[in-house]
Amino acid sequence: FADAVGNKNLSGEKATGDTKYRIASISKLVTAIGAWQLIEQGLIDPDADASEYLGFELRNPNFPDTPITVRMIMSHTSSVRDGNYSIPAGQTIGDYMKLFKKDYWAPETEAPGEYFTYSNMNYCLIGTIIEQVSGERFDQYMVRHVFEPMGLTCSYNVSDMSEEAQAQIGTLYRK
């Protein structure tokens, strides 16, 4: 298939079975694998208030008394909505969400746990929970506990990949 559409890796070679692609939203499934490992180890309770793991209070300001659980975050029922999720270096996710409070929350008609809305920010929060619980940086945790055990030479942080692996990165989209 890759040869038929002419996809190439960064070295300019035709894509092969070894070509690596940025996986966009499927990364949420992979992140869930990392989180679920910690759940199976008893380090995360999916039904606990996520604030306990995040290190800051996570509450929809329209529902300040309703805890948002890890399960709600993972299932896109947290009431967290996508805002700008490019968090500058030196800022915490908690501080950033407070800064743009209105941008990140469902309206008064959509309580946490009662309404599904796909949100990339949910998985920024799951990555933060993985870091807080494991004590490892998210991308490094995923390499050590998910990718390497599966025999994969990939990372959420491309700069950590070998030069050979980086050369196998394919173009994601082509006009």
Is 18 in contact with 10 (CB distance < 8 Å)?
A: no
pTM for the structure as a whole: 0.84
Residue spans of alpha helices (H) in the chain: 2-5, 27-40, 51-54, 70-74, 93-99, 120-134, 138-142, 163-167
**What is the token pair recorded at 108?**
């008064």
Tell me the per-residue pLDDT of 23-63, one tens digit each, with 9 for 90 and over: 777 889 999 999 999 999 999 999 999 999 999 999 998 99
Q: Give the number of other CB atoms < 10 A from CB of residue 12.
A: 7
Tell me the per-residue pLDDT of 1-21, one tens digit each, with 9 for 90 and over: 344 345 656 566 777 777 777
